[in-house]
C-alpha cells in the first residue's frame, strides 16, 4: 500500500448506464472512488441506488460504459466486491445457522468442492466477534431480530475479506444498537483500506458520518464532500418537489415507505 | 417376533424389494430436502408424470423402460428451464404447460398399446416386489451418482438455494447449478418409479424432507433426519405390505405420512401440541 498514489482508483465508473427489466434506471454515471474511501449514496426512492450496487456485483448487466476495479474491467478476475442486500431479499426460514451464513462468505475463496478449514472457521469467528454476535453463532437465522439479521449479513460480507463493500440501506428498520454496530464497523474498516459504499435515506447521517457523498437521481447529481454535495440547489435537483426549504434549511419530505398520499410517487 | 421380522426376508423378491426401497427412501429424502426448501414440490410431481411418454415410447420400441423414463424426465426438466429462462414465462407456468403436454402425450401413446401392459402399470403405481437384480444395480449406481454430486456440490447448492444473489456475487454459475439440481431430481424420480410409481414419487420427495424441517433448523442434520424417515417408512411400509397384502408403494408413503403427522403434532417447541400447551399456560 506504500505506492497507493500510483495505483489506479479502486473503483472507476466511466459513463455507466444500467437498465432494470429493460427500463433504463441509471444514465451515464461517471465517478472515481479512491482506495479506502467511504461514500454515502443518497437520493430519492427509485434513484437507482440499489441498481448501482447490483450492477457493481454483476447482478444487473451494464448496458453502456465500463466499470474498472483496480484498473481492470469487472468480471475479469475475482472482483473482491461484497454486497449486503436489503433484509427483505432473504429467505429467513431457510435451515441455516448464523455461523453457516457467515461461512458462505468464504465460499468464493474456497473454490469448488473444497470444504472450509480451520483458517476459514477462524475468520468466521473473528467476523462474528467484530459484529458482536459471537454468542448467536449456533442459532437458526429465523430466530433473530431484524438488527441481528442485519449484523449476520454484515459479518458475512466481512468474511469475504472484500476490497469493496456495498451496503444497501443498512440503517433502515434496525434498532439503535445495530445502527451503532454498523457505524462502529465503518470506523474499523477505514484503517483497513476497505472501500465502502453505503446507500441510505438518512441525509443527516450521510452528512455527519461520511467524508464523501454521492447524490443520485437516475444519474449523478453531485459527488464529493457533503458540504459541497448537500446544497439546496443539488437537493432540489435530486428530490424535486419533495424538498422543502425553510430559510436556508433544507427539509426532505421523507420518501422512505411513502404513506397513502396522493402524488406520493418519487 | 424375530420370526415375524425374518420370515419375509426368506423370499428373494422381498430381499431385493427391501434393498430397493431403502436406497430409494434415502435418495428421495436427501434430494427432497432441496425440493422442500426451494418449493419445488410441484416440479417434482410434474417431472414424475412427465416420464410417462418416455416409458410408453420405450415400451413400444421394446427398449428399457427406465432409460425411456430418464430421457423423458431430462427433456422436460431442461424444457422447463428453457421456457422460464429470463422470465419469458414464470417457472410454475412453464411446469404446468409441459407437465400437461407430457402427460397427454403419454396417454396418447399408451392408448395405442392394445395389449394390457403389466410393466406399464408397474411404472404408474410401482412394484417394489418385482425388482430384478439388474434394477438393483441401476438404482444403486444412479443413486450413488446423485448422492456423490450432492456431497461434492454441497456448499454451492446451499448458496444458490438460500441466497442466489450471493451466488451471483461469488461468481458461481447459478443457472448451471440450478439445472444440475433439476437433473439430479429427474434421476431420483426415475430411479424411484419402480418402488413407488409415478403417482407417489412426489410424496417420497416431499414428506421425509418436510418432517425433518419440523425437527431441525440446519441443512445437513435435516438431510440425515429425512434419510432416517425414508429408511423407517420404507422398512415399515414393506412389512405392512407383506403382512396386510396391500400395495407396497402406497404403504411406504402412508407410513411416511404418519411419521410426518407425529412430528407435526409433537415436534419439540414447534409442534402443534406444544403450541397448544403454551397457549393454555399463557391463558392462565
Beta bridge partners of A195: A164
| CB spacing of B156 vs A115 below 8 angstroms | no
The average pLDDT across B60-64 equals 83
What was the pLDDT predicted at A265?
39
Statement: residue A197 has pLDDT above 90? yes
CA dihedral A117, A123, A125, A130 (to 10 degrees): -170
Q: At A18, phi and psi to the nearest 5?
A: -130, 140
* Residues in CB range of B63: below 8 A, 6 or more apart: B57
Q: Give the HSE-up count for residue B81: Cα atoms under 13 Å, Cβ half-sphere.
A: 17
* A59–B158 CB contact, under 8 Å: no
User: Which is more confidently placed, A5 or A182?
Assistant: A182
Check pLDDT > 70 for residue B119.
no
Buried b (16+ CB within 10 A) or exposed e, A130-167: bbbbbebbebbbeebeebbbbbbbbbbbbbbbbbbbbb
Q: Please, which pLDDT band fits residue A184 given cuts at 50, 70 and 90?
A: confident
Mean pLDDT along residues B272-281: 78
Using a CB-CB cut-off of 8 Å, the residues of chain A touching B159 are 104, 107
Predicted local confidence at residue A252, as pLDDT: 62
Mean pLDDT of chain B: 85
Position A146 scores a pLDDT of 81
Q: A244 CA to chain B: closest CA distance, Å?
A: 37
Is residue A245 within 8 Å of A251, Cβ to Cβ? yes
Residue B4: φ, ψ to 5°: -60, -35
> Mean pLDDT of all residues in chain A?
81
**What CATH code is carried by the domain that includes residue B229?**
1.10.3470.10
Residue A94 predicted with pLDDT over 50: yes
Quote the cell numbers at residue B23.
436406497
- At B114 the pLDDT is 61
Query: What's the structural domain count of chain B?
Result: 1
What pLDDT, on a 0 to 100 scale, did the predictor assign at position A245? 66
Q: Is the pLDDT of residue B255 over 90?
A: yes
Q: What is the mean pLDDT of residues B98-116?
A: 80
Q: Are B204 and B253 in contact (CB under 8 A)?
A: yes
Question: Looking at residue A5, what is its pLDDT?
Answer: 46
pLDDT value at B231 more than 90: yes
Higher pLDDT, residue A123 or A248: A123
B130-178 pLDDT tens trace: 788 888 898 899 999 999 999 999 999 999 889 888 888 888 888 889 8
Domains recognised in chain A with CATH numbers: 11-231 (3.40.50.300)
What was the pLDDT predicted at B133?
Answer: 85
**What pLDDT is attached to residue A262?**
42
State whether residue B86 sits within 8 Å of chain A by CB: no
Contact B50, B102 (CB under 8 A): yes
Band (pLDDT 50/70/90 cuts) for residue A185 is confident
Q: Which among B153, B161, B170 is the nearest to A108, CB-wise? A: B170
- pLDDT band at residue A259 using 50, 70 and 90 as cut-offs: very low
Domain of B133 in residue numbering reads as 2-283
Q: Which of A67, A92, A95 should one mutate to test binding to chain B, selecting the residue with the greatest count of B CBs within 10 A?
A: A95
Q: Is A113 on the interface with B (CB under 8 A)?
A: yes
Question: Among candidates B153, B157, B217, which has minimal Cα distance to A94?
Answer: B217
Of B261 and A3, the one with more pLDDT: B261
Instruction: Compute the average pLDDT of residues B218-226.
Output: 94
Q: Is pLDDT at B9 greater than 80 in this prediction?
A: yes
Amino acid at each position: 500500500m506504500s505506492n497507493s498514489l500510483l495505483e489506479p482508483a479502486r473503483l472507476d465508473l466511466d459513463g455507466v448506464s444500467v437498465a432494470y427489466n429493460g427500463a433504463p434506471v441509471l444514465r451515464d454515471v461517471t465517478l472515481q472512488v479512491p482506495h479506502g474511501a467511504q461514500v454515502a449514496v443518497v437520493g430519492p426512492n427509485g434513484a437507482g441506488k440499489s441498481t448501482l450496487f447490483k450492477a457493481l456485483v454483476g447482478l444487473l448487466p451494464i448496458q453502456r460504459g465500463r466499470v474498472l476495479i483496480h484498473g481492470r474491467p469487472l468480471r475479469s478476475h475475482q472482483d473482491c466486491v461484497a454486497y449486503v442486500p436489503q433484509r427483505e431479499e432473504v429467505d429467513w426460514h431457510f435451515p441455516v445457522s448464523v455461523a453457516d451464513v457467515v461461512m458462505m462468505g468464504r465460499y468464493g475463496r474456497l473454490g469448488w468442492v473444497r470444504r472450509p478449514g480451520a483458517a476459514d472457521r477462524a475468520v468466521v469467528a473473528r467476523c462474528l466477534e467484530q459484529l458482536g454476535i459471537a454468542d448467536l453463532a449456533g442459532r437458526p437465522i429465523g430466530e433473530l431480530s431484524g438488527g441481528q439479521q442485519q449484523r449476520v449479513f454484515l459479518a458475512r460480507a466481512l468474511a469475504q475479506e472484500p476490497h469493496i463493500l456495498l451496503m444497501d440501506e443498512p440503517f433502515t428498520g434496525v434498532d439503535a444498537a445495530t445502527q451503532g454496530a454498523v457505524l462502529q464497523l465503518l470506523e474499523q474498516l477505514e484503517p483497513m483500506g476497505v472501500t465502502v459504499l453505503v446507500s441510505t435515506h438518512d441525509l443527516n447521517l450521510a452528512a455527519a458520518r461520511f467524508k464523501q457523498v454521492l447524490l443520485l437521481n437516475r444519474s449523478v447529481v453531485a459527488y464529493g464532500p457533503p458540504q459541497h454535495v448537500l446544497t439546496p440547489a443539488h437537493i432540489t435537483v435530486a428530490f424535486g418537489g419533495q424538498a422543502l426549504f425553510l430559510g436556508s434549511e433544507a427539509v426532505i419530505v421523507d420518501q422512505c415507505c411513502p404513506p397513502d398520499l396522493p402524488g406520493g410517487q418519487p | 417376533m424375530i420370526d415375524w421380522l425374518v420370515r419375509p426376508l426368506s423370499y428373494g423378491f422381498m430381499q431385493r424389494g427391501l434393498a430397493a426401497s431403502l436406497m430409494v427412501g434415502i435418495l428421495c429424502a436427501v434430494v427432497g430436502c432441496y425440493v422442500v426448501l426451494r418449493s419445488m414440490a410441484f416440479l417434482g410431481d410434474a417431472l414424475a408424470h412427465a416420464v410417462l411418454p418416455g416409458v410408453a415410447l420405450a415400451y413400444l420400441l421394446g427398449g428399457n423402460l427406465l432409460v425411456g423414463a430418464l430421457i423423458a424426465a431430462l427433456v422436460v426438466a431442461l424444457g422447463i428451464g428453457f421456457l422460464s429462462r429470463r422470465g419469458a414465462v414464470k417457472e410454475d407456468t412453464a411446469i404446468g404447460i409441459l407437465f400437461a403436454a407430457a402427460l397427454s402425450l403419454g396417454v396418447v401413446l399408451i392408448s395405442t398399446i392394445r395389449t394390457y401392459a403389466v410393466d406399464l402399470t408397474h411404472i404408474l403405481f410401482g412394484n417394489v416386489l418385482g425388482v430384478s437384480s439388474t434394477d438393483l444395480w441401476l438404482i444403486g449406481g444412479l443413486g450413488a451418482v446423485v448422492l456423490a454430486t450432492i456431497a461434492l456440490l454441497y456448499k454451492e447448492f446451499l448458496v444458490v438455494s438460500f441466497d442466489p444473489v450471493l451466488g451471483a456475487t461469488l461468481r458461481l454459475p447459478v443457472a448451471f447449478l440450478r439445472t444440475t439440481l433439476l437433473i439430479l431430481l429427474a434421476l431420483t424420480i426415475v430411479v424411484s418409479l419402480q418402488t413407488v410409481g409415478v403417482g407417489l414419487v412426489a410424496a417420497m420427495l416431499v414428506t421425509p424432507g418436510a418432517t425433518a424441517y419440523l425437527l431441525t433448523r440446519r441443512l445437513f442434520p435435516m438431510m440425515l433426519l429425512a434419510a432416517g424417515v425414508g429408511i423407517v417408512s420404507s422398512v415399515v411400509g414393506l412389512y405392512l405390505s407383506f403382512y396386510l397384502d396391500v400395495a407396497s408403494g402406497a404403504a411406504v408413503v402412508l407410513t411416511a405420512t404418519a411419521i410426518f403427522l407425529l412430528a407435526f403434532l409433537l415436534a419439540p417447541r414447534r409442534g402443534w401440541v406444544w403450541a397448544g400447551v403454551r397457549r393454555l399456560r399463557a391463558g392462565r
